Amino acid sequence: MQAQSEGFGRTIQLFLVDGIPNGLIIASIHGWTGSVVVASQATFDKLRARPEADRSGVYILFGPDPDDPLSMRAYIGEADYVKDRINQSAEERAFWETAVIISTSDETLTKGDIRYLEARLIELASEAGRVKLDNGQSPKPDRRPLPEAGRANMEAFLANLRVILPVVGLDLLKPRPRAISTTERPAKTDTGQKFEIRHKSNVQATAIEEDGEFVVLAGSQALKNAGYVGANSYGELKNELIAQGVLTTIDGAGVYTFARPYVFRSPSAASAVILDRNSNGRREWKVVNSDLTYHEWQEQKTTQEDAAERLMLSPENQSVI
């Protein structure tokens, strides 16, 4: 159960149990004994029939938050025999769309291990702030003591879970972008590359790409009832942002304002909401104080990274053993 260094790549193995993309999935990392079995509501019975469900482990129920369609909700639990506990938890909660069982192929997780893992997963998810936890209690890891070696093993186990869970669609452990955690709109920031939209309507919007996520900053503006001909694929999202208070308006103003930062799935989703029409965000967004589009910036960045990698791999930079 050793975690690999963050400086190295990882080989994630995704086994399609049913041979189809929407069936059961078993995810693991090469050389790691841990396994993550992922099911939807349609394949939940198959999940419960798996041998992993008869082992000690931790489980997660994950889905949209019924109180806030812009957010996700999760429940984290543990059991000596996951099968019965996860079934009871699933029957008590209607929000979940994905169920996950976390265990090991060699059945080495002890009661102490899984109780510690549960507490740490709840703690990490709370700190990350990406989901609303449906857990009534938040057990503290220090109240679920393990020997020093045991804690080290479980922290290594968690390091691999941080890699695997986002790959299978659960980002509850990934810290939110730092731009989200501040209520201010700084003129300068070192959290990521800044972009802006320059539009003839004088709408002003600023965004940051941080750790692969595109965040529109608080104070940015969005057009209101622009009247463009044609559908807006993100019209429903925009209406939800208005309903949830992310986009607010001042009486008489012809624009909406972002009351808080918001993470979009893509630059195009962000520009479509801001410009009130379908748009190519890769060309609408430009590097602040530059004519470089997002698309051109990405190409430039890739070229620079490739050049740096070739330099590192050049013979004169290789150590001689």
* DSSP secondary structure string for all residues of 127-148: HH-SEEE--S----GGGS---H
H/E element, 167: helix 148-167
Domain count, the chain: 2
Are the C-beta atoms of residues 158 and 114 closer than 8 Å to each other?
no
Residue 3 in any domain: the answer is: no
Please indicate, yes or no, whether residues 163 and 211 belong to a single structural domain of this protein.
Answer: no
User: What is the residue type of 57?
Assistant: G
Same domain, residue pair 95 and 198: no
Tell me: do 163 and 196 sit in the same domain.
no
CA 69, chain centre distance (Å): 16
Q: Are 177 and 209 in contact (CB under 8 A)?
A: no
Look at residue 103 and tell me if it is in a domain: yes
pLDDT confidence of residue 110: 92
Residue 279 phi, psi (nearest 5)? -155, 160
Q: Which residues of the chain have pLDDT under 50?
A: 1-5, 183-190, 320-321
Query: Looking at the structure, do residues 65 and 142 belong to the same domain, yes or no?
Result: yes
Domain of 227 in residue numbering reads as 178-313
Enter the tokens of residue 177.
Answer: 């972008």
Tokens of 71: 């957010």
- According to DSSP, the β-strands at 131-133 and 68-79 are parallel
Cα 159 from Cα 173, distance rounded (Å): 10
Q: Assess whether 187 and 50 both reside in one domain.
A: no
6 occurs within a structural domain: no
- Here the tokens at position 254 are 């012809």
Which of 103, 133, 167 terminates a domain? The answer is: 167
Which of helix, strand or coil describes residue 87? Answer: helix
Chain mean position to CA 178? 14
**pLDDT value of position 191:** 55
Same structural domain, 137 and 271: no
Look at residue 31 in the predicted model and tell me its pLDDT.
86
161 & 199 share domain: no
213 and 188 assigned to the same domain: yes
Distance of alpha carbon 35 from alpha carbon 13, whole angstroms: 10
Specify if 319 maps to a domain: no
Q: In which element (H, E) is residue 305 found?
A: helix 294-313
Q: How many residues are recorded in the chain? A: 321
DSSP 293: B
141 and 88 in a single domain? The answer is yes
**Residue pointed to by tokens 């209101």:** 224
Asked if 123 and 224 sit in the same domain, the reply is no
User: Angle at the Cα of 240 (from 273 to 235), degrees rounded to 5?
Assistant: 40
Sign of CA dihedral 263, 267, 268, 273: positive
Answer with the one of 148, 167, 186 that is the final residue of a domain. 167
- CA neighbor of 294 nearest in space, from 270, 273, 276, 262: 270
| Joined tokens for residue 208 | 């940051």
Q: Which of 305, 237, 244 is nearest to 268 (CA)?
A: 237
Around Cβ 279, how many Cβ atoms within 10 Å?
24
